[in-house]
Amino acid sequence: MTRIGITGHREIPDAALSAVRSGIRAELRGRPGTWALSSLAAGADQLFAEIALESGIPLTAVIPGMDYEAHLGDDEVRASYRRLLKCCAARVQLPYERTHDEAYYAAGRYIVDHADRMIAVWDGAPARGLGGTADIVDYAHLTGVPVTVLWSPGVRRA
């Protein structure tokens, strides 16, 4: 069994979306026995989860220990989260953390710790808060988990 985790930005610019989508498909294609791990946040996490499920890959939701759903974004993002959560083969509810940033970082570390490889939907910029994509990529490198970065060269987030 191969476990592939996701970390990535909540907002993916239109200019990067096609490359990210095709990159995720390529990373998941033809891998029998694969499991996917995602926190189901807006953006990269939900996109990865959708593609994994479309590909018949079982999905594990890693839920940060907090009132997570309330902080995911607008009604559409929360509805997508609930729909994806219902489709998950497994669910990991992490212990409560003092702050949202600590909870996001704990979830990212959990995914790295339980993945054989990671996909990062990342523009290469520093994290905008503890637990951001750059922090999780750094943690994966520190622990020796291979990371495939998906993005379009020259595209920046808003």
Residue 8, domain CATH: 3.40.50.450
Q: Does residue 157 form part of some domain?
A: no
Q: What's the mean pLDDT in 107-127?
A: 96
Q: Does residue 156 form part of some domain?
A: no
- Measure the CA–CA gap between 130 and 136, rounded to whole angstroms: 9
Which pTM does this prediction carry? 0.95
Q: Is the pLDDT of residue 27 over 80?
A: yes
Q: Is the pLDDT of residue 23 over 90?
A: yes
Give the sign of the dihedral formed by CA 23, CA 29, CA 33, CA 35: positive
Q: Does residue 34 form part of some domain?
A: yes
Per-residue model confidence as pLDDT tens digits over 32-78 = 899 999 999 999 999 999 999 999 999 999 999 888 988 888 999 99
3-state secondary structure of 99: coil
| pLDDT at residue 97, as a whole number | 86
Q: Does residue 28 form part of some domain?
A: yes
Per-residue model confidence as pLDDT tens digits over 82-115 = 999 999 999 999 999 888 899 999 999 999 999 9
What's the structural domain count of the chain?
Answer: 1
Place of tokens 């570390």: 109
Q: Is the pLDDT of residue 120 over 80?
A: yes
Segments forming the whole domain that contains residue 87: 2-150
User: Quick count: other Cβ atoms within 10 Å of Cβ 54?
Assistant: 10
Q: What's the mean pLDDT in 132-154?
A: 95
Q: Does residue 158 form part of some domain?
A: no
For 8, counting Cβ atoms within 10 Å of its Cβ (0-12 exposed, 13-18 middle, 19+ buried), the class is: buried
Q: Does residue 83 form part of some domain?
A: yes
Q: Assign 10 a pLDDT band (cuts: 50, 70, 90).
A: very high
| pLDDT at residue 137, as a whole number | 97
Q: Does residue 110 form part of some domain?
A: yes
- Measure the CA–CA gap between 13 and 151, rounded to whole angstroms: 10
β-bridge partners, 3:
35
Q: Does residue 68 form part of some domain?
A: yes
